[in-house]
Structure 1
Amino acid sequence: MNVLDARARFQELRERSGLIDPGELDAVWTALDTVRPQDILGEWKGGEFRTGHPLEGMLAEADWYGKTFASVHDAKPLMCRNTAGELYSNLELGQGEASLWTVEFRGESTATMVYDGRPVFDHFKRVDGTTLMGIMNAKGVPAEGPFYYFFLERASEAPPAAGEGA
């Protein structure tokens, strides 16, 4: 699969309402380009692929919005909405925040978010100029998974953060 086919397949899988075989997502991942940490700074709105992973649906329950990468050393993995609809970094759920590094995963070096309080890594690859595909990996997860698959879409205009005016 070339990168153009991977982008088209990514979109098809993103729009699918039923369960997705992780092997289909792995095929897309393999064809995508790696990305550097400094190239993904900014605000991102997130979503998940339905693969039957145990984490599926948990972020939605926390009103997860996405991720914010203010700098390589200031990453907020769990930007959620409070009851007023404002964004905040959910430090409790994430057990802290995170940082961005270049880490090898499946034989390629790519931007990876390393959580401060958990042995968890979110690996990223570029789908296009405004979209990233992510695979969550963690200590103790075998090489074959199961992995949690998600995507991030660059936010054109981030909603107000908690404490800021609308």
Structure 2
Amino acid sequence: MLIAGSGTPAALPAKTLKARGYSGKVYQTHGVANNDFLRVCGKDCDGELLPAGPILVTEQLPDSNPAKRSSQAYKDAYEKVYGVGSVSTFGGHAWDAGQLLQHAIPAALQKGQPGTAAFRAALRDALENVKDLPVSQGIIDMTPADHNGLDLRARVMVQIVDGKWKLQND
């Protein structure tokens, strides 16, 4: 069963399936990858599986994972301000965008000043040529045809076990 929901509202179908005796596999989407979902769903979500960004289980990643250092750096910075256990994948996306800009803006400034056509074109070119940039959600390799830049390293399979996220593969 796939529950295609996001946030805490996705707990309702999961809890309802459990209450009605469904015992098959349940899959969620990355839209539930936050600790508030775990709080709302409780034990009814144990065993459910979902794909998520590496940030969700950064401590469980092997040291060889190329995104581990970057995702841990984001998590540490975020939780320093907002408290332990407050990080979610969603804020990581914004941080990753900031990492992209920090990488690309210096190159764009060499071609023009902000607000000019030359700067905008240079910024686009710099972003489209980002290679091997570790961020909280994976490694970014942009091209003119791929403005997402994330590959399979941007997802891990996670299972909910005893109310916690547990890495299933890497």
- Scaled by the length of structure 1, what TM-score is found? 0.24
Which structure: greater strand fraction?
Answer: 1
Higher Rg of the two aligned structures:
2
Which structure: greater helix fraction?
Answer: 2
- Scaled by the length of structure 2, what TM-score is found? 0.23
